Structure 1
């Protein structure tokens, strides 16, 4: 997810790099049936190390944890750099990170599960559940999920941006967030254009709560985290981080200087970008949101992978129901102050890739995790190097 300082996304760059630390296989991941437990051959590991270390240096990335699993080829786990610039503590494979807009996949999954349970329909208007939404009688839940509602994104609002950076400890309610968006005219008619928009997903989370009569975090735990045994994935209700955690660094501050955003209150990203997770859990989750296993029926999963190709989407980069297709990879990226995530699975190779970085700062036109994804894919899946949107 993005804090927007203009119509362009702001994902900015960092100046200090911790010493690269390579840790492979020092902690076993969750058991898996994907058959990718053997390490890559030494020469491939060497290529990966060289590519990742070069990228960390060139993009001034403080630290990252990386996991890639490809059945029949091997796996690679790495903890690079530092988790804390003040102490130079090494990054750990089991560090917790804020995962930004990967959270959107979870909120949309909950909506699709409720549709399977026939407790709602994705063709329902959002106005059926939330009558205060502008154009709510014309905007369907499907439009919210695939980013074609036309609503204004609350994170575009300059006054809100200033408030967030002036008081990052503030707690925001979902209604406060969407009301900020509703002060502005919609960007387009419902269904007419595609615009990546955090307002959409907050509204979906509010619908989930209304239909289930449960807090969104309880729905996530019961319907997603528990079935998948995601034991280290957290829906935070405070600014605290579970141990161990990586500090997150940003320049999205009032004066534009680098700051530590680790304990910024994530309530402004409710249901959109507030989740915290780890490499192990996201390995499981990346595959589940692409295959539907443990979450959705085959029919509902096929529906989820109905792609929107309205501009700026293309055949190589397009959006579905809370998931992205990018050169054969399916999943989602996530960015918020201090953190950057890539969580993807490639059905063609049954490959899974998770990258978690502790900076959202843009360098050389790329965010930390995106730059690392490019480097890793260039080594392992050269036919499937992602399209990276400029930051």
Structure 2
């Protein structure tokens, strides 16, 4: 679980596409086209994981691609029964538990944090609602550099409370939205304080048992005997095991394990009133500064869906429910070598029967590149790290000072990309045909480099 959670929510909020109006006539689901997309993503090492589409609460598609485990040359294929860490989708589960407790009169939206954890600065002014809608002003413990030093090690609740309470708030309670994992770890602890039961047991009793979910639970160390997937990063043209967060840390903010099937059943059950009242659901759906009570919105084809995204280690998951069409998309990725938004565009385009061309990811034809002409160490006055370009076999490798190397994909003789990080590089050659300059673009940032 990292600071990329915040970026995930932003991506979820902004995933909006300029398609024409909704088709008047409902068309059958195009399974063949969805299979084609996932087969290309798998064969080109762009993605590993699972995708499910539900219509009116019933499954119309569920498929997994890639591997659940990779151990040297031994590879274990994923199946639709493979279980994945779902990261911040756990927040929607936690928000649901809190609203259930509110309906039981055991808690209220205006209950102050000081009722449970007075050691936090501004605790008497921070309410349960502030925690739910990310307006507490509490800093996210995952945004602090030291988080990376302990994320793989077990922590007690006392340890985590000390870490989180030591962080200076970034805003006054209620003043502004700021995505913070601290909020939902505290909400998970509040569930335990109110019920006097472990979070895992409350999750089981109040959600899992009610919806008869078979593969959803509070996670632990990844165990292949439980059909649990590891997560991976694509480095040096191969899938490499990602670090494994100890699940004592993310708690109610990101510790749940599930499958695409269970996620689809969960959000359909939530919107069908099987877990909370419709009045409570409306509270969850009330968006303030882009965030509701454990739900965010996604727009597609001028239609609004509700759900949440999740990132933890190399896992990247999403649930999205479109009430108008009663359509659900659930994804659980454990390896990405592509911008996840690109994958979701394709999946939703096919699910909604919109015009969409399945990409081939074929390397540009007739590109006979002399990669030695790109080699060198480059510096920028706008960027603090030197970047080295070097040829390795048929690949052009890029490596920032002190960082891991990764392979760039050519789009032309001048343009290269690294899709997982949304990096675009445009080279410029000198009179001798040697590429001694490039411009690196990532998001809103643009940096000019010259060869030393």
Q: Check whether the contact 2:244–2:313 (CA below 8 A) recurs between aligned residues.
A: no
> Cα RMSD (Å) of the superposition?
3.1
1:129 to 80, 105, 116: 116
Whole-Å separation in 1 of the counterparts to 2:5 and 2:322: 33
Q: Which residue of 1 aligns with 2:258?
A: 277
Q: Check whether the contact 1:55–1:371 (CA below 8 A) recurs between aligned residues.
A: no
Question: Shift of the alpha carbon at 1:8?
Answer: 6.5
Q: Which residue of 2 aligns with 1:306?
A: 286
Unaligned runs of 5+ in 2: 10-26, 357-420, 423-442, 444-452
Q: Which residue of 1 aligns with 2:2?
A: 3
Of stretches 340-349 and 111-120 in structure 1, the one that deviates more from structure 2 is 340-349
Question: Shift of the alpha carbon at 1:247?
Answer: 2.4
3-state SS of paired residue (1:108): helix
Q: Which residue of 1 aligns with 2:350?
A: 379
Larger RCO (CA under 8 A, 6+ residues apart): 1
Q: Which residue of 2 aligns with 1:315?
A: none
Q: Check whether the contact 2:232–2:239 (CA below 8 A) recurs between aligned residues.
A: yes
Q: Check whether the contact 1:239–1:265 (CA below 8 A) recurs between aligned residues.
A: no
Of stretches 228-237 and 170-179 in structure 1, the one that deviates more from structure 2 is 170-179
Question: Shift of the alpha carbon at 1:132?
Answer: 1.2
> Kindly tell me: are residues 280 and 379 of structure 1, through their superposed partners in 2, closer, same or farther at Cα, counting changes over 3 Å?
closer
3-state SS of paired residue (2:249): helix
Kindly indicate whether residue 339 of structure 2 is the aligned counterpart of residue 339 of structure 1. no
Q: Check whether the contact 1:146–1:322 (CA below 8 A) recurs between aligned residues.
A: yes
Kindly indicate whether residue 36 of structure 2 is the aligned counterpart of residue 50 of structure 1. yes
TM-score relative to the length of structure 1: 0.77
Whole-Å separation in 2 of the counterparts to 1:84 and 1:239: 10
Unaligned runs of 5+ in 1: 11-38, 311-317
Q: Which residue of 2 aligns with 1:120?
A: 107
> Kindly tell me: are residues 72 and 177 of structure 1, through their superposed partners in 2, closer, same or farther at Cα, counting changes over 3 Å?
closer
> Kindly tell me: are residues 90 and 59 of structure 1, through their superposed partners in 2, closer, same or farther at Cα, counting changes over 3 Å?
closer
TM-score relative to the length of structure 2: 0.67
Any residues of structure 2 matched to 1:1-391 within 5 Å, and which? 2-4=1-3, 40=28, 44-56=30-42, 60-61=46-47, 63-71=48-56, 75-86=60-71, 87-164=74-151, 168=152, 170-240=153-223, 243-250=226-233, 259-261=240-242, 264-289=245-270, 291=271, 293-308=273-288, 310=289, 318-327=290-299, 328-359=304-335, 361=336, 363-364=337-338, 366-367=339-340, 370-381=341-352
Whole-Å separation in 2 of the counterparts to 1:235 and 1:5: 21
Kindly tell me the number of residue pairs found equivalent between the two proteins: 334
> Kindly tell me: are residues 300 and 260 of structure 1, through their superposed partners in 2, closer, same or farther at Cα, counting changes over 3 Å?
same
Question: Shift of the alpha carbon at 1:238?
Answer: 4.6
Question: Shift of the alpha carbon at 1:209?
Answer: 1.2
Q: Which residue of 2 aligns with 1:24?
A: none
Whole-Å separation in 2 of the counterparts to 1:326 and 1:144: 21
Bigger proportion of residues as strand:
2
3-state SS of paired residue (1:268): coil
Q: Check whether the contact 1:239–1:266 (CA below 8 A) recurs between aligned residues.
A: no
Q: Which has the greater radius of gyration? A: 2
